[in-house]
Amino acid sequence: MPLIELAGVDHTYGLGPSARVVLRGLDLRLGEQRVGVIGANGSGKSTFARLLNGLVLPTEGTVTVDGLDTRADGRAVRRKVGFVFTDPDAQIVMPTVAEDVAFGLRRRGLDRREVDQRVAAALAAYGLADHRDHPAHLLSGGQKQLLALASVLVTEPEVLVLDEPTTLLDLANSRRIADVVDALPQQVVLVTHSLDLLAGFDRVLVFDDGAVIFDGVPGDAIAHYRKLVT
């Protein structure tokens, strides 16, 4: 598994009197295959997730993935670390389903034949083969999230970071996305409010007020979080 390391990480939004500290004092080594991240809204967990592939850079400290620094080696880090947003409309960039899956591959300089083969395989794997020429933004919510996953996973990242991927979905589609994630061979970092998705995870981090206040196995972490919010 890739090793993700955060050393002395703080992050602040804004400057001067309006500055807001959202993360403080993070020192973590994440080498497990399944890492969950939980906490109340505003606790810093989504900013933490964005640090892992350089979407957000630390104000202080360093974030590295297998020794690659997100500040100095951002492009290489993003090849290793795929990111799936809460709202798939935020990352669907092309008009049709097949074009959206192909987008990331073409940016990597692959030839047309290999792109077509990999797109077809990804669409089949995520139940989207019958929708390849459909307008991407007109898919159902569950299908859009599957498309977002397919468009990231087709580039074969070593790590997948998911920021509350089931928040906008109904129960059936949430379960479908969870089943897909459960079957992935990649290292997964999952930010979620759906605590049942963390069953079988190796490790769960509990965030509060910008800091990790508990770090342990799912049962203990969830119990700590429930006590915190009640």
Residue 59's pLDDT is what?
96
Give pLDDT, residue 3.
Answer: 95
* pLDDT value of residue 111: 83
Q: Give the pLDDT of residue 230.
A: 84
**pLDDT (tens digit, 9 = 90+) per residue, 133-168?**
999 999 999 999 999 999 999 999 999 999 999 988
Residue 107: the pLDDT is 75
Which tokens hold the place of 76?
Answer: 């290489």
Q: How far apart are CA 169 and CA 163, in angstroms?
A: 13
Distance in angstroms between the alpha carbons of the first and the last residue of the chain: 36
Predicted pLDDT at 34: 97
Q: How would residue 51 be classed by pLDDT, with cut points 50, 70 and 90? A: very high
Q: Which residue has the tokens 């919510």?
A: 141
Write the CB contacts of 191 (distance below 8 Å, at least 6 apart in sequence).
Answer: 36, 37, 38, 45, 46, 48, 49, 161, 162, 163, 164
pLDDT digits over 85-126, tens only?
999 999 999 999 999 999 988 777 778 899 999 999 999 999
Domain ranges of the chain: 4-94+144-229
Write the class of the CATH domain 4-94+144-229.
alpha beta
Q: What is the pLDDT of residue 1?
A: 79
Query: Which amino acid, 141?
Result: G
Structure tokens belonging to residue 72: 């100095």
**How large is the average pLDDT for residues 28-45?**
96
Q: What is the pLDDT of residue 17?
A: 76
Nearest-5° Cα angle at 89, 87 to 93? 140
Which of 49-58, 107-116, 195-204 shows the lowest per-residue confidence on average (mean pLDDT)? Answer: 107-116
Work out whether the CA dihedral 228, 26, 48, 22 comes out positive or negative: positive
Per cent of the chain over pLDDT 90 is 82
CA 200, distance to chain mean position in Å, is 18
Q: What pTM does this model have?
A: 0.93
The pLDDT value given to residue 94: 95
98-105's contacts with Cβ under 8 Å and 24+ in sequence apart are 98/123, 98/132, 98/133, 99/136, 100/136, 100/147, 100/151, 101/147, 101/150, 101/151, 101/154, 103/151, 104/151, 104/152, 104/154, 104/155, 105/154, 105/155
